[in-house]
Amino acid sequence: MRKNYKWIQLLRLPVAIVFGYLTDFGSWAIQGITVSSYRQQWLLCFLGILLVGIGVSFEVTANVVTLAGEGLILAICQVTPVKFGTMKIIFDVSLVIIAASLSFLFLGGLMGIREGTIAAALLVGLISRQINRPLHMFEQRFLTAKKDKLSAVHSCH
């Protein structure tokens, strides 16, 4: 990013630590939930994918500090003509391919990757792209005008 690097992004480390603790808390909070059927597993998986897609959209729209994965995707999007949602899918699918390759190479078979991982790699970016459209319209309508007014006020001082 060279000159375009925003120093606030150094806050990624403490944000990642907090995110890790929140993930651990979430895992603890749902540990008592048991699902007995494959259909229920898919329902919970899709609910998780939906929530992650919405969360990623909010994180990116806020335009402050992002987690490392989204930060890398945003950096790539700044230097290429690819939109965030599309790059998110490309990035996530690439990570799954790398993980599968490493699993075969070092473990002798496919371990830790199942259909939910593939669904998440394909759908989180797609959901994020769909959520970003109304979020962008909301930002343009309600937040950009206020931001422009604040900039005008601050530039006068």
> Which pLDDT tens digit goes with each residue over 76-101?
998 899 999 999 999 999 999 999 99
Radius of gyration from C-alpha coordinates of the chain: 19
Which pLDDT does position 147 carry in this prediction? 52
Question: Is the per-residue pLDDT at 120 higher than 70?
Answer: yes
Q: The tokens of 9 are what?
A: 């992004």
CA-CA distance, 22 to 52, in Å (whole number)? 13
Residues 6+ positions from 109 with CB-CB distance below 8 Å: 103
CA-CA distance, 83 to 132, in Å (whole number)? 11
Does 117 or 152 have the greater pLDDT score? Answer: 117
Backbone phi and psi for residue 153, each to the nearest 5 degrees, phi listed first: -65, -45
Backbone phi and psi for residue 67, each to the nearest 5 degrees, phi listed first: -70, 165
Give which of 69, 60, 30 is closest to 133, Cα–Cα. Answer: 60
**How large is the average pLDDT for residues 129-154?**
68
Band of the pLDDT at 62, cuts 50, 70, 90? confident
Q: Where in the chain are the domains?
A: 2-156
Residue 108: left if φ>0, alpha if ψ -120 to 50, beta else—which one?
Answer: left
Go through 20-31 and write b for each residue having 16 or more CB atoms within 10 A of its CB, e for each that does not. Answer: eeeeeeeeeeee
